[in-house]
Amino acid sequence: MKILYLSYDGMTDSLGQSQVLPYLLRLAEKGIAYTIISFEKKENFITNKTTIENLLKGTCIKWVPLKYTKRPPVLSTIFDVWKLKKAVKKELQQGKVDIIHCRSYISALAGLSFKRKRQYSFCF
């Protein structure tokens, strides 16, 4: 089984490291393959990128970090949703995905569009 996991929270953020990665790593031990697409804040990414890469090394988890856009408000979020849709489309073209799992309303905007257009299973 392969799951595409979309998160507006970064894996280099404390939330990603404390809440998201621990349970994905446990599920990956059971043979569930994940591709994580997350939005990374510049400072956290610089500081923690290597830590996350080392955590994921040797697992069945692929990480696709995207740059989080902060300014201007509202427009930056719209731009991030566009970037996320583009990244999701690229991942879907590369192989089979069984479920699109979205964490947060922003990531769900992108995930729902693929559920509707292409009939993917969707989890929020």
Domains annotated for the chain, with CATH where assigned, are 2-123 (3.40.50.2000)
Report the alpha-carbon distance of residue 19 to residue 15 in Å, rounded: 6
CA distance 42 to 65: 11
CA separation, residue 98 to residues 31, 105, 120 (Å):
14, 20, 7
Q: pLDDT for 25-65, tens place per residue?
A: 999 999 999 999 999 999 999 999 999 999 999 999 999 99
Report the pLDDT averaged over residues 3-26: 96
β-bridge partners, 106: none
pLDDT of residue 117: 75
Asked if the model's pLDDT at residue 118 lies above 80, the reply is no
Spatial contact of 52 and 18, defined as CB atoms under 8 Å apart = no
